[in-house]
Amino acid sequence: MPEPSYRDALFTTPLDEVASFSFDEQVVQCFPDMIRRSVPGYGQIIGMIGVVAKRFVPEGGHIHDLGCSLGACTLAICQQLPPEAFTLDAIDLSPAMIARARDTLASHHPMHRVQLREGDIRYIDYAPSDMIVLNFTLQFLPPEERDAVIARLAEALKPGGVLVLSEKVRFDNEDAERLLFDLHHDFKRANGYSDMEISQKRSALEDVMITDSISTHIDRLERAGLVSVTPWFQHLNFASLLAFKPEAA
């Protein structure tokens, strides 16, 4: 049986010094609650990733779920595609995440050909893929390393393959940035987070999660040779894009 999951209370007590955010055992224990109460539209994006897989992954196709955490995207894909229809590599840097994801997958989808493993998505080798998912993961890589990672993923995609990139985003327009930043904090308050929790989490994430604008993401994906780059979802300052490897000429 998978371990129980708890309500996120990580930043409820005042801290003298807020340590940098890390995806450790404490975060793992409350991650489903944390991400649902923090990321507007998270559930809709997850559901749609399964639907995108159904449309774009051919019989016998291969999928990568990068920065898979507890495997929510992988599970959504398993719900949409039969076990023998695809293989999937789910990778995360956090051993605690991978251990917990293994339990969940084994109890829900034991027949699917999914490999969950610990790894750093900057350095692993990529098998040719029909679909690659980066669901709120790229934002945790150092900005200067993002171009190279996206270029390698674009190379790994097969002709017609799809990349799903979801990110917290910033806006170059100061008014838009302020408005959506404030509304996101209102969203967190409405989901039961206190001002202190919001502010301490923000400090913890400050140097760890650095956001790009939607246009920076689009430019990067196009520079890597991907086409039909399409933002398909935005809720406040969270967005998701689709990008495709061109069909062979």
Ligand X SMILES: O=C(O)C(=O)C[C@]1(C(=O)O)C=C[C@@H](O)C=C1
Ligand Y SMILES: C[S@@+](CC[C@H](N)C(=O)[O-])C[C@H]1O[C@@H](n2cnc3c(N)ncnc32)[C@H](O)[C@@H]1O
Tell me if 194 is assigned to a ligand binding site: no
Q: Half-sphere exposure of 63 toward its Cβ, with a 13 Å CA cutoff?
A: 36
Length of the chain in terms of residues written? 249
How far apart are CB 21 and ligand Y at their closest, in Å? 10
State yes or no: 126 annotated in a binding site. Answer: no
Q: Pick the closest to residue 186 from 43, 38, 41, 44 (CA basis).
A: 38
Confirm or reject binding of residue 104 to ligand Y (CB under 6 A): no
Tell me which residues in 36-75 interact with ligand Y (CB under 6 A): 67-69, 72-73
**Residue listed under structure tokens 């790229």:** 138
Q: Which does 98 bind (CB under 5 to 8 A by kind): ligand X, ligand Y, none?
A: none
At residue 157, the 3 state secondary structure works out as strand
47 is in an annotated binding site: no
How much helix, strand and coil, in percent to the nearest 5, is found in the chain?
45, 25, 35
Among 180, 170, 185, 174, which residue's Cα sits nearest to residue 235? 180
Which tokens sit at 89? 């590599």
The partner in contact with residue 93, picked from ligand Y, ligand X, none with C-beta cut-offs of 5 to 8 angstroms by kind, is: ligand Y
User: Residue holding tokens 């690659």?
Assistant: 132
Give least dist CB 235 to ligand X, A: 12
Structure tokens at 120: 């750093």
Least distance CB 14 / ligand X (angstroms): 18
Residue 123 is labelled as binding a ligand: no
Residue 48 interacts with which of ligand X, ligand Y, none, CB < 5 to 8 Å by class: none
Chain positions contacting ligand Y, by CB under 6 A: 23, 35, 67-69, 72-73, 91-94, 97, 120-122, 135-137, 140-141
Residues contributing to the annotated binding site for S-adenosyl-L-methionine: 42, 67-69, 120-121, 135, 202
Mark the binding-site residues, compressed into ranges: 42, 67-69, 120-121, 135, 202
